[in-house]
Amino acid sequence: MSTMNAITVLIDGDAPAVRPYALMRDRVLPSLERRREEIERMYAPVMGRPETDPVLLMAATVLQIMQRLPDRACAEACLYDARWRFALGDMPPFHPTTLVHFRNRLAENGKARLSLEACLESMRDAGYLKSCRAVRIDSTHLLARIADMSRLECVRETLRLALDFLARFGGVAAWEPWSGRYADRNPEELRKASAERLAARMDEAGADMRDVLEKADALGEAVAGAEPVALLRRVFGEQFELRDGAPAQRRASEAGAAVNPHDPEAQWSTKKTLGKAGWRGYKAQVCESVEDATCAKGEPTKAVVTAVLVQPATGSDHGSVPGILAEHQSAVGAGCPPPDEVFADAGYVSAPALLKAEAGGYALTGPMPAPPHSGKRFGSDSFAVDIPGRVAVCPAGHASSECDRIDDAKHAQYGAKYYFAWPAKTCAACPLREQCVSKKSKLARRTLEVSEHHMTVQVRRALCKTPEYRSRMRKRNAVEGTHSELVRGYGLRRCRYKGRSKTGLQAQFTATACNLRRWARRLCWEERKMT
């Protein structure tokens, strides 16, 4: 059967299966073609012009992520899969490593968003993507493409990689006995060793790191500043500290420390759902449009993934809203006005975030985190605080007698604090004393310390208790399903490549593939509904 006949059978017999490829050919590929000049600026004007069309390579990468194919299978699909040839045309054969070099160029030139921008532009031109007046955001963890290593394994592997590089300067013999000591990569030996043996090996590795760095520094700035030596210096500083000139192991690794030298940007972090084991990798912030109308049962979503921002694993959700909104606005283009409302969970909401959202011209809709646990005592939310009036009223109705402003330079980003206190005589005669004043407290009276944004926090907590606000917050819940779709359908959870920049590249192509398939699914549903 010829290629065109096979395509005709596909279109007539299985329209939903071929619709994403038709959208790629008719909508997304022309949008990518309009960005040809920007794509070709990654290459030298005279030398280095690729044999394979970079526009088609970008379109093929979107289909590759959509089908979750490795590079070799992607190159074969461009030749033998009728659906791919229907979408991309008669694409000349290319070696799988062409995709590797193409991704490297995209990451090095900061063009990771091109595919998502082209997809969103084609959706907007077709009328599918309208003005994003409201968006919802949430984060999910990404597992780096590395093996789990102990601190000792990370130190030894970093030494081995650095010594492999330094062997170019004087040969392997010039770096003995270190080269022979760390050439063996047998992790089972380390995992079965006793605690005393592991501690001795760690001390030995720390001394060797110091000596190797001293010898490398003597070879000049070119060697001392090379990437393997710089990584060795970084890991040495993260795992050891000098005491009387001798390296001593730190009690715990610093936040953001390298966990595997093969991907130094990957970090360890934890969250409640993962327990104490945590994960090693990155964090992805996902932004999605919100439709006013609720979808009926069986109706495909009209929501569009507008931005995906890859952050370090140790990055907090708090303060991430402006960054993800900037990514959203850059992806959708100047034609779409910025959103008026952002739906998020409690990890993004705080008093400074609410004030920043108000200054930015949008509403941050989300629950305020609960106040610190006070046991059986009345917490800060049980008091009526009037910061401009410099007074606070306790649950028993007594006004405070003292108010002091505390400015802490170390925590200036959180604002000033206010200290309120009640007379000891008033607290002694109060019937609610046992619920208010702790028995362990040295003071015989109640004190209260709140931030200068306490009133803003209280207003949001009161608003969260209203039925109308709870009903509106349901629009945020759909982003959890989007995370599941990106993870289960396109493999976003596991990084295909190493490094934060290439992980971000994978996230952008994943968002593009998700939007393409959602668009096709919606069009097929609308056609079935009409007939």
Task: Write out pLDDT tens, residues 30-65.
Answer: 999 999 999 988 988 776 556 789 999 999 999 999
b/e code 131-151 from CB counts within 10 Å (16+ = b): ebbbbbbbbbbbebbbeebeb
The answer to whether position 90 is within a domain reads yes
Q: Are residues 186 and 291 in the same domain?
A: no
Domain termination site, one of 451, 485, 505: 451
Structural domain total, the chain: 4
Residue 305 phi/psi, 5° resolution? Answer: -75, 115
Q: Distance between CA 259 and CA 498 in Å, rounded? A: 13
The answer to whether position 352 is within a domain reads yes
Residue 28 DSSP code: I
pTM of the model: 0.89
Q: What is the pLDDT of residues 62-89, one digit of tens each?
A: 999 999 999 999 999 999 999 999 999 9
Residue 163 phi/psi, 5° resolution? Answer: -70, -35
Q: Are residues 220 and 198 in the same domain?
A: yes
Q: What is the pLDDT of residues 294-343, one digit of tens each?
A: 888 888 999 999 999 999 999 889 889 999 999 999 998 877 888 999 99
Which two structure tokens, joined as six digits, stand for 298? Answer: 């069986």
pLDDT the model gives residue 1:
42
**Mean pLDDT throughout 284-291?**
94
What percentage of the chain has pLDDT greater than the value 70? 93
Q: What is the pLDDT of residues 369-415, one digit of tens each?
A: 877 766 678 888 888 999 889 999 998 899 998 898 888 766 566 67
Strand partners, 309: 285
Q: Is 375 left (phi over 0), alpha (psi -120 to 50) or beta?
A: left
In terms of Cα–Cα distance, which of 378, 379, 427 is closest to 401? 427
Q: Are residues 458 and 364 in the same domain?
A: yes
In terms of Cα–Cα distance, which of 504, 525, 507, 487 is closest to 62? 507
Handedness of CA 288, 294, 300, 302 (dihedral sign): negative
CATH of residue 355: 3.30.420.10
* Burial degree of 416 (CB within 10 A; 0-12, 13-18, 19+): middle
Q: Are residues 350 and 476 in the same domain?
A: yes
Residue 143 DSSP code: E
The answer to whether position 524 is within a domain reads no
Domain termination site, one of 220, 249, 278: 249
Torsion of CA 28, 32, 34, 39, to 10 degrees: 170
- The residue with greater pLDDT, 141 or 12, is 141
pLDDT the model gives residue 12:
44
**Mean pLDDT throughout 410-425?**
80
Do 309 and 321 meet the contact criterion of CB atoms below 8 Å apart? no
The answer to whether position 118 is within a domain reads no
In terms of Cα–Cα distance, which of 356, 371, 374 is closest to 318? 356
pLDDT the model gives residue 308:
96
Compute CA distances 394 → 221, 384, 387, 461, 465, whole Å. Answer: 65, 7, 14, 18, 21
pLDDT the model gives residue 412:
61
pLDDT the model gives residue 451:
87
Domain termination site, one of 249, 284, 308: 249
Q: Are residues 360 and 409 in the same domain?
A: no
The answer to whether position 291 is within a domain reads yes
Do 261 and 154 meet the contact criterion of CB atoms below 8 Å apart? yes
pLDDT the model gives residue 4:
47
In terms of Cα–Cα distance, which of 265, 412, 418 is closest to 352? 412
Q: Distance between CA 418 and CA 405 in Å, rounded? A: 5
pLDDT the model gives residue 49:
57
pLDDT the model gives residue 297:
83
The answer to whether position 526 is within a domain reads no
What percentage of the chain has pLDDT greater than the value 90? 58
Per-residue pLDDT for 435 more than 60? Answer: yes
Q: How confident is the model at residue 437 (pLDDT cuts 50, 70, 90)?
A: confident
Q: Are residues 174 and 240 in the same domain?
A: yes
In terms of Cα–Cα distance, which of 287, 317, 342 is closest to 116? 287
In sequence order, what are the residues at sequence separation of 6 or more whose Cβ sits closer than 8 angstroms to the Cβ of residue 195? none
Strand partners, 448: 420
Per-residue pLDDT for 202 more than 70? Answer: yes
pLDDT the model gives residue 213:
95
Q: What is the pLDDT of residues 472-501, one digit of tens each?
A: 999 999 999 999 999 999 999 999 999 999
The answer to whether position 447 is within a domain reads yes
Q: What is the pLDDT of residues 205-219, one digit of tens each?
A: 999 999 999 999 999
Q: What is the pLDDT of residues 141-182, one digit of tens each?
A: 999 999 999 999 999 999 999 999 999 998 889 999 999 888
* Burial degree of 371 (CB within 10 A; 0-12, 13-18, 19+): middle
Q: Which helix (H) or strand (E) holds 363?
A: strand 363-365
Q: Are residues 410 and 474 in the same domain?
A: no
The answer to whether position 292 is within a domain reads yes
In terms of Cα–Cα distance, which of 119, 139, 137 is closest to 129? 119
In sequence order, what are the residues at sequence separation of 6 or more whose Cβ sits closer than 8 angstroms to the Cβ of residue 4? none
Alpha-helical regions (H) of 282-332: 321-332
- The residue with greater pLDDT, 518 or 16, is 518
Structural domain harbouring 44? 3-111
pLDDT the model gives residue 10:
47
Q: Are residues 163 and 70 in the same domain?
A: no
In terms of Cα–Cα distance, which of 195, 187, 184, 181 is closest to 153? 187
Q: Distance between CA 47 and CA 44 in Å, rounded? A: 5
In terms of Cα–Cα distance, which of 201, 206, 177 is closest to 191? 201
How much is the mean pLDDT over the chain?
Answer: 88
Residue 326 phi/psi, 5° resolution? Answer: -65, -40
Q: Are residues 18 and 85 in the same domain?
A: yes
- E strands, 379-487, are 384-386, 391-393, 402-406, 417-421, 447-451
Q: Which helix (H) or strand (E) holds 30?
A: helix 29-33
Q: Are residues 355 and 473 in the same domain?
A: yes
Q: Are residues 142 and 159 in the same domain?
A: no
Per-residue pLDDT for 452 more than 80? Answer: yes
Q: Are residues 26 and 170 in the same domain?
A: no
Cα R_g (the chain), whole angstroms? 29
- The residue with greater pLDDT, 172 or 274, is 172
Which two structure tokens, joined as six digits, stand for 14? Answer: 């299985």
Torsion of CA 228, 229, 235, 240, to 10 degrees: 160
